Structure 1
Amino acid sequence: MTTTLRIAFLPLTDAAVLVAARERGFAEGEGIALDLVRTTSWATLRDRLLFGQVQGAHMLAPLAVAVTLGLSQQAASLAAPYKLNVNGNMLVMGRDFARALDPDVARRLADPLGTAHDFAAAIGLWRRKPVIGVVHRFSSHAIMLRYWLASAGVDPDRDVVLRVLPPSLTVEAMQAGEVDGFIAGEPWGSAAVEAGLAEAVAIGERIWRRGVEKVLTFREAWMEENPDTVDRLLRALARAAAWCDDPANHGDLAELLSRPAYVDQPADLIARALSGCIIARAGEGAVPHPDFMLFAREATPFPWRSQALWIYSQLVRWNMVAHDPATQARAGAVFRPDIFRRALADSDLPMPGASMKVEGAVSLPLAVGSRRGELTLGPDRFFDGRIFDPERIDEFLAGFAPTR
């Protein structure tokens, strides 16, 4: 018997695992007919999930936490048992603004802390508050941008204007002069660079290496009522993710994603994020960042509860939610490693033995305990060297300057 599943997604390179699961037969092999519903904005995607138009969604990880905490329109309990990728965002700014930054774009991307201070100085020289596009208030993009700006003394609520717009409209907004730059998932930053509108200023992979990005999200009640279907889908996604991470498949994957039904952008543009060959300024050579976007290796799909709690810590930091034990517990419970383990219990996929870890503590590849096979975690450092211990959130928050 075949089960039809409707999953909402946005036209982004990090929808790759869902697209591969459908187009390469991984979902079909688990008896699932995957109906991928192309959606323009994160607000629409959220509503489609909450009102039952789809069973699942390719969702911003912070949005899943925010909806569960009642911060984004209608409150609902969401569950994220699978991470679709880590990293993959890029901050681009118009070329006039970028002239005030380090002209060496490779050095600019490799040194996010120094670039943040250059950016702060450039704000002082700019004719007005820079307008920076973000794809949603509760996006990893917006949270990382706030974290990065604040490291150089920039108040993201006072010194710049953050304007929400859908990822696929970011380039158009730059062309119209509505924003001076934006931070978004690929391929939209590369599209702005290719059009000669912008230069790359910072990449998510250097702000938080292996930073959580998109998650597969369900309404919690639906997930609990359909365990077999959920398990079959997760098994299909795990195989699709391994296929996506294989460099030998990147050409085929870029072609799939370039179709009008999915990202609808040139395959060579999409391939940049997949290969980690980032062109930061039009007409110049690629800057290699091989970990720019990951789908499978190093336990990428595993939904660490500590990463949900890091998101929560940032919501608290920016006065978006009150800090209390009950809210903290709800936030951490959005990520569901128990469902991940159940679904993949009979696979040969190495998976962590723990459900939380200290984030930002790994600077070199590290072998860790696994329930089967060998598992090595890659570097997960924050650009400012901070460490996030999910059992010491108060201490972590106390390390930041108070916000208004």
Structure 2
Amino acid sequence: MMTELSAGFLPLTDSAILIAAREKGFAGAEGIDLNLVRETSWANVRDKLAVGQFEIAHALAPMPIASNLGLTPFDTRFIAPMALGLGGNAITVSNRLLAAMQASQNFTMMNARLAGEALAQAVRVRRDEGGNRLHFAVVHPFSGHNFELRYWLAASGVAPDLDIEIVILPPSLMADALVSGQVDGYCVGEPWNSVGVDKGAGNIVATKSSIWASSPEKVLAVRESWAADNSNTLQALLRALYRSAEWCGQAGNHCELAKILAAPTYLGQRADLILPALDGSLVASEGAGSVSDFFQPHARAATFPWQSHALWFYSQMVRWGYVEHSAANAEIARRSYRPDIYRTALSGMKVPVPTANSKVEGALNETVPVGAAPQPLYLGPDGFFDGAIFDPDRLDAYIGSQKN
């Protein structure tokens, strides 16, 4: 007998693992009838998960943390027992802003440092000339997009809450907002950067992987109470999603995956606009680029819910004034990610699983083997563009060192 699960998702390329799990039969093989429901905003996904209309959801990585810290409308505890890949976002700016940036600095979308310096100079010129603040859009306050944009801006010498204005828009509205001139740039997941480029409205100037390589983006979110009451179903789902991630990560499947995702019920965009995020052939201001690590659905332990990722997002919530720092709040954030559930689910599959729950972030400049069971696992590179290191065991010091 099949168990039906309703899953909310947004039309983004990084929903691929959930979609492929249904379309390629991985969910069915585990006895799960996966009902995928497309939503228009992350607030809809969060609220419908909270009130029980969804059992599971494609979710922003900081969303369970924010919910558990009491920063959302409903008093519902979420957990993330699995990640849904690494990377997948980019920063796109209008043609006018690109020209202003290029006037002071040559850069490529894989050099976040030079791109940041160029943007900082454009911001200074605009301010000196008495122009209005630039408007950048992100998809939700508690999103990787908001925190990576802020991190990039601050490290580049731009004060996110003084020099520019950050506004909230659903992903599918980003390109049209750029076309209409309502925003000067945005940070969003694919394919909406490529859509903006295809419309002739702007160009990609930086990728998530150029700001923080191998960085977390989406997770599988479930209510903590549902996970406790349905542990066998959840474990079966994690097995199905892991097999789906393996399939999505194989280069020979990318063209088929792009066609699957292109369906009107899923992303509703041309396959040729979806494929670049999968094979790393994004088009930027300097022409077609090669970004091999733009989106990783499986390699580098891409589906493991590292608690160090949760703590980094927490550090940024503290940094930007969303929550006060305390040992209790840090523990709530850490426990929002559940590697113990992940390990239990995959224990019989003979696949490599990290033996640690956390790791130092930003320390790896190349791919290295790390401790895992039952076979070696390869991680990295995972560097931040500014050379910073995040050690979750030194959380207080890291938070104290952050500047706005």
Length-normalised TM-score, structure 1: 0.97
Verify the 8 A CA contact 1:358 1:388 in the aligned structure 2: yes
Cα distance in 2 between the residues matched to 1:245 and 1:105: 35
Moved over 4 A (4+): 103-106
Is the counterpart of residue 374 in structure 1 residue 376 in structure 2?
yes
Letter in 1 for 2:75: A
Partner of 1:261: 265
Cα distance in 2 between the residues matched to 1:339 and 1:52: 21
Partner of 2:82: 82
SS at match of 1:132: strand
Letter in 1 for 2:320: W
Residue from 160, 181, 186 that aligns with 2:185: 181
Change in Cα spacing, 1:138 to 1:287, as seen in structure 2 (3 Å) is: same
Q: How far off is 1:100 after superposition? A: 2.0
Partner of 1:223: 227
Partner of 1:24: 24
Residue from 190, 195, 217 that aligns with 1:191: 195
Verify the 8 A CA contact 1:105 1:200 in the aligned structure 2: no
Partner of 2:95: 95
Cα distance in 1 between the residues matched to 2:344 and 2:327: 27
Letter in 2 for 1:118: A
Q: Tell me, which stretches of 5 or more residues in structure 2 are unaligned?
A: none
Partner of 2:242: 238
Taking every aligned residue pair, what percent have the same amino acid on both sides? 44
Is the counterpart of residue 39 in structure 1 residue 39 in structure 2?
yes
**For 1:78-100, what per-residue CA distance to the aligned partner results, in whole angstroms no more than 9, with x for missing partners?**
10010001101010010011012
* Equivalences, count: 400
Partner of 2:325: 323
Q: How far off is 1:109 after superposition? A: 1.6
Q: How far off is 1:313 after superposition? A: 0.5
For residues 92-241 of structure 1, what are the structure 2 equivalents within 5 Å? Answer: 92-102=92-102, 107-126=107-126, 127-241=131-245
More divergent stretch after superposition (262-271 vs 98-107): 98-107
Letter in 2 for 1:318: W
Verify the 8 A CA contact 2:105 2:117 in the aligned structure 1: no
Verify the 8 A CA contact 1:102 1:108 in the aligned structure 2: no
Letter in 2 for 1:390: P
Cα distance in 2 between the residues matched to 1:280 and 1:364: 25
Is the counterpart of residue 292 in structure 1 residue 302 in structure 2?
no
Q: How far off is 1:103 after superposition? A: 7.5
Q: How far off is 1:110 after superposition? A: 2.4
Verify the 8 A CA contact 1:106 1:287 in the aligned structure 2: no
Verify the 8 A CA contact 1:305 1:333 in the aligned structure 2: yes
Cα distance in 2 between the residues matched to 1:306 and 1:75: 24
Cα distance in 2 between the residues matched to 1:325 and 1:275: 41
Cα distance in 2 between the residues matched to 1:400 and 1:335: 23
Cα distance in 2 between the residues matched to 1:241 and 1:103: 42
Cα distance in 2 between the residues matched to 1:280 and 1:78: 37
Cα distance in 2 between the residues matched to 1:272 and 1:75: 39
